[in-house]
Amino acid sequence: MEELIEKLKVQIIKQLNLEDVEPNEIDPEKMLFDADNELGLDSIDALELIVLLDKEYGIKVKSQEEGKSIFQSLVTMAEYILEHQK
Amino acid sequence: MIPTEKIYPCCEIKAGEIILDGKVLYENKELPFPKFIKGAYKALELNYPKFHKMDRLCKLAFVAANALLKEGQLEGYAPSDIGIVMANSKATLHTDSKYADSIKDRADYFPSPAVFVYTLPNIMVGEICIKYKIKGESVFFVSNTFDKKMLTEYSQDMIETGNAKICLMGWVDYTDTDYHAILYLIQ
């Protein structure tokens, strides 16, 4: 799980074009789309995360509600991937 | 008597330096642009999470604008009274190339919305407008060189014709090998 979270940090930085963010600056427990999150993610980034899951893990997000629960934090993303990865 | 040129508040960023009204505000000539601009963002305590998502051109414009406006120079102006007149020579070429690279392989075709949104140069104007809640007139030119006289006259005309009361004017250009921002506050 920890290994996957570290991998996700690197993939998210690349996918979301956060070139000046270091992996150790991302808190895996923090709400990804919270207004207080220093990454400043928005709806376009939600699309990017959906693309990332599809491209890297072969997982298709089927609904907005499902997306909301998957993308709460890096931990919830990693848990979902471990459960659904093809 | 020869008329003297009016001096406007100015911020310039180039070659690892941020110069505000002739004084060095931040300096780090050793770092490549991404690390230099992140260092400036931290040193100026900008605290604006969306900064990390911006492309390099927008980061350059954003830091220059913030350095110039950090003392609340726009306070007291209605959002619709603040104009922006900007220009550069390479438009968004750096990000255009990055986006083109990301879609060139038809077998691995995942266009990136996060990159695509930065493939128009007036996104710089948009990012500054969002931060400062500016709703006035804006214009963006692409030209070979920084024509300060023309851009100043354009800004002054906006003010004289009642289309703005204050105007952020300047040049912000980025390539893989060079960067230069110079912004003025025309009043």
The confidence score (pLDDT) of residue B112 equals 85
CA distance B161 to chain A (A): 38
Round to whole Å and give the CA distance between B65 and B13.
Answer: 10
| Residue of chain B with shortest Cα separation from A42 | B50
Across the range B148-174, mean pLDDT stands at: 97
Cβ pair A48:B48 closer than 8 A:
no
Nearest CB to A18 within list B37, B53, B112: B53
Total of domains in chain A: 1
Nearest chain A CA: its distance from B49 CA (Å) = 5
Do B53 and A55 count as a contact with CB atoms less than 8 A apart?
A: no
**Cβ–Cβ below 8 Å for A51 and B52:** no
Residue A20: the pLDDT is: 86
Domain extent for A56: 2-84
pLDDT given for residue A42 in this prediction: 87
Measured distance CA(B37)–CA(A1) in Å, rounded: 34
- Model's pTM, two decimal places? 0.90
Cα end-to-end distance, chain A, whole Å: 16
Interface of B with A in 101-120 (CB under 8 A): 110, 112-115, 117
Structure tokens at B17: 């330096």
Domain positions in chain B: 10-186
CATH number at residue A42: 1.10.1200.10
ipTM: 0.78
For residue B2, pLDDT over 70 is answered with: no
Largest CA distance in chain A: 33
Q: What is the rounded average pLDDT of the residues B94-108?
A: 90
pLDDT per residue as tens digits for the range B27-81: 999 999 999 999 999 999 998 988 999 999 999 999 999 999 998 999 999 999 9
Tens-place pLDDT, residues A3-56? 999 999 999 999 898 988 999 999 999 999 888 888 888 888 998 999 899 989
For B28-40, write each residue's pLDDT tens digit. 999 999 999 999 9
pLDDT, residue B110, reads 80
For domain B10-186, the CATH superfamily is Thiolase/Chalcone synthase (3.40.47.10)
> Is B42 part of the contact surface with chain A (CB cutoff 8 Å)?
no
Who's near A72: CB < 8 A, 6+ residues apart?
A31, A32
